[in-house]
Amino acid sequence: MKNLKNLLSKPWQPTPSWFVLAWSLVSLVGFLDATYLTIQHYTGGNVNCNLFSGCEKVLASPYAIIWGVPLALVGVAFYLLMLLLMVLHWEHGVRWALLLGILGSVGAWVFSLVMIYLQLMVIESLCQYCLLSALTATTLFILSLVWLRRQTVAE
């Protein structure tokens, strides 16, 4: 809690450029993945499920749509936001942009865990595109941890 307070009030260690690059690239991968699924969702195209059979089952399950919005589209918005927030932070030095990105990455990681649980236990099929998204979300989460650690260790 004290660390968090310090984080908000004290000046930060400069964000290293490799961090910005990694974060942006991972967000971009997640964005492309989600975009592909969104296009397939709306055009009704056949998703290429060559890694695990039954990935269509995941994409056609009730869990693929939340309040009438396909999850893939939520993914597009999320990864786009993650990318733009990082650019906003890096180019304009906006602090809340990075904090929001970190908060988002934690949320997305927890959400991904729930989705993997659903795939394994409820739908009993895996979808490679969804797993890729879980991987990018996890990477963003790890990057967030690394960043937070840099800030607290330096104090």
Interface residue list for another protein (CB under 8 A): 28, 31-32, 35-36, 39-41, 43-48, 53-54, 56-57, 59-62, 80, 83-84, 87, 90-92
Nearest CA among 115, 113, 87, 116 for reference residue 100 = 87
The residue among 83 and 137 lying less far from another protein, judged by its C-beta, is 83
Q: Which amino acid is at 65?
A: I
**Min separation Cβ 149 and another protein, Å:** 27
Tokens of 141: 């989460």
Using CA atoms, how far residue 127 sits from 74, 87, 155, in Å, is: 17, 30, 43
**Min separation Cβ 54 and another protein, Å:** 8
**Min separation Cβ 10 and another protein, Å:** 19
Beta strands in the chain (DSSP E): 65-66, 69-70
> CA–CA separation, 15 vs 78, rounded Å?
21
The residue among 61 and 152 lying less far from another protein, judged by its C-beta, is 61
The residue among 20 and 99 lying less far from another protein, judged by its C-beta, is 20
